[in-house]
Amino acid sequence: MNMVTLIEKKKRGIVLSDEEIKELIKGFVKGEIPDYQVSALLMAIFFKGLSKEETFALTDAMRYSGDTIDLSSINGIKVDKHSTGGVGDKTTLVVAPLAAACGVPIAKMSGRGLGFTGGTVDKMESIPGFRTSMEAEEFLNQVNKIGMAVIGQSENITPADKKLYALRDVTSTVDNLGLISSSIMSKKLAAGSDAIVLDVKCGAGAFMEKLDEAVELAKMMVEIGSNAGRRTVAAITDMGQPLGVAVGNSIEVIEAIETLKGNGPEDITKLALKLSGIMVYLGGKASSPEEGQNMTRTALESGRGLAKLGEFIEAQGGDSAVIQDYSLFPQHTIEMELKSPKAGYIKAIETKRIGYASLYTGAGRATKDDILDLSAGIKIWKKIADKVDEGQTLAVLYGNDESKVAKALSIAQEAFVISDEPCESPQIIKEIIGL
């Protein structure tokens, strides 16, 4: 394959064939095509886009670039859930136990945080003793035994996506519809579940800031999933402000536990019930998403969701006593308050800025190898449409390194936009696609 010809074609907006895309991915994974040529091609794709057929072909090539997971030894319809990434997104920790408590097997691989977004694997590792990696057999047995397992992505799943994503990250070519949808769906298809629920984030703290872009992304991913024979549903949900109150690791796990105790913030509770209801429906345990949601609401109110979380923590080596005793989590020693500079109403929150401020407290990583402070993070006490007085607390920042927390405070200070006029609170669920 001549790479220069391929770049030239894409530069002129000519559609690449399935064979060309297959060869490209094969050569790239083997190290036969240099990064500089793939970077040039990525930039051409960024400007000219990928057709639907090219996106399907790229998804397929990446899906089969490494191991694929066989979940056939797990009984029942396995349902996966994936978020496109956001700030304060602890939804999996609520949704998975609720769906599992209603009989839907969850065999899930989750990611780590990078940049302004957090990752479920880091959050789970704030639970003392919790293991996020295990052998395939143990993973499958755990799902058959207790109904759920969540681990980090295994090394050799979609290596092409890992390599390509790393290159996209440093060439400013992440935010492209065809590249994002193929990246996410190649991993989901390789991970083996029968049905997939996608939480497509939209707003200031998401890759897709505008609703029409998020809808387009959601439609493309639903189409890729359906084309591969997997029932796929996407919810477009608000990321115009952090989800819930907590942004960090242990503080997000605590918020998820509180949600399963029935004391969670309204936005997370609403979102978790909606998504888990769809999962229960796709898992064949309810005859409609509404019935599914009624079932997951009952699981929440009866405490069965919380009990399932406890079983899950124990099964993966963690200490489930954390559910009743939050002092068992890693502790911070430093707290700094962010005060409102004036009276008014919260009009907007620059959510990516909050994500980066959280990173600076020690809760996130700027590079793959950074070590996290699992106790660090931010609690956002004022959300969009809330009334504030001058000097009132907008947020509290936590950590163990004074200079880091102070730097985070200076970043977070710019995040709140305060208006004299009352504002409306955004709807958490904007649209559902594929039902």
Active site residue 379: no
User: Annotated catalytic, 82?
Assistant: yes
Judged by beta carbon, residue 139 or residue 165, the one nearer ligand URA is 165
- DSSP letter assigned to residue 428: S
The footprint of ligand URA on residues 13-52 (CB under 6 A) is: none
Number of residues counted as binding ligand URA (CB under 6 A): 9
Residue of 187, 353, 365, 430 marked active site:
187
Which is closer to ligand URA, CB of 184 or CB of 433?
A: 184
Helices 92-101 & 304-315, crossing angle to 10 degrees? 110
- Rounded least distance, CB 190 to ligand URA, Å: 12
Measured from the CB of residue 62, what is the shortest distance to ligand URA in angstroms?
10
Cα radius of gyration (the chain): 21
Q: How far is the CB of 179 from ligand URA (least distance, A)?
A: 6
- What is the nearest approach in angstroms of ligand URA to the Cβ of residue 188? 9
Task: Give helix 177-190 / helix 211-227 axis angle, nearest 10°.
Answer: 40
**Is 365 noted as a catalytic residue in this protein?**
no
- Does 202 bind ligand URA (CB under 6 A)? Our answer is no
CB nearer to ligand URA: give 154 or 375.
154
Strand-pair category, 387-388 with 344-349: antiparallel
CB of 198 to ligand URA, least distance (A): 11
The residue annotated as part of the active site, out of 60, 89, 122, 161, is 161
| DSSP label of 425 | P
Which stretch in 56-64, 93-101, 178-186, 263-271 sits in contact with ligand URA by CB under 6 A? 178-186
CB 90 within 8 Å of CB 268: yes
Contacts of ligand URA in 150-169 (CB under 6 A) = 165
Task: Give the footprint of ligand URA on residues 56-95 (CB under 6 A).
Answer: 84-85
Near ligand URA by CB under 6 A: residue from 77, 174, 336, 406 = 174
Specify the pairing of strand 195-202 against strand 231-238.
parallel
Is 332 annotated in the active site?
Answer: no
Both tokens of residue 31?
A: 């190290």
| Cα separation, 415 vs 413, whole angstroms | 6
Residue 162 is a catalytic residue: no
Which one is catalytic: 9, 78, 82, 382? 82
131 close to 152: Cβ distance less than 8 angstroms? no
Binding mask 203-232 toward ligand URA (x if CB under 6 A, else -) reads ----x-------------------------
Which of residues 100 and 218 has its CB atom nearest to ligand URA in the complex?
Answer: 218
Q: Min. distance of Cβ 218 from ligand URA in angstroms?
A: 13
DSSP strand E in 39-132: where?
Answer: 79-83, 106-110
**Distance from C-alpha of 183 to C-alpha of 185, rounded to nearest angstrom:** 6
Strand extents, DSSP E, 44-120: 79-83, 106-110
Distance CA 290, CA 25 (A): 42
Catalytic residue among 22, 90, 123, 168: 168
Q: How far is the CB of 89 from ligand URA (least distance, A)?
A: 12
- Taking the complex as a whole, the smallest distance from the CB of residue 85 to ligand URA amounts, in Å, to 5
Contact 194, 70 (CB under 8 A): no
Closer by beta carbon to ligand URA, 179 or else 409: 179
The two tokens of residue 366 are: 């700027």
Tell me whether residue 44 or residue 180 sits nearer to ligand URA (CB atom).
180
For residues 179 to 198, the per-residue mask of contacts with ligand URA, x marking binding by CB under 6 A and - elsewhere, is xx--xx--------------
Q: What share of the chain is helix, strand, coil (3-state, %, to 5)?
A: 45, 15, 35
Backbone phi, then psi, for 385, in 5-degree steps? Answer: 90, -10
- Residue closer to ligand URA by CB (options 334, 359) is 359
When the beta carbons of 165 and 329 are compared against ligand URA, the nearer one is 165
Strand, coil or helix: 251: helix
CA gap 391, 341 in Å, rounded? 6
Structure-derived torsion over alpha carbons of residues 64, 67, 73, 79, reported in degrees to the nearest 10: -60
Question: Site residues (CB under 6 A) for ligand URA?
Answer: 84-85, 165, 174, 179-180, 183-184, 207
Active site residues: 82, 161, 168, 183, 187
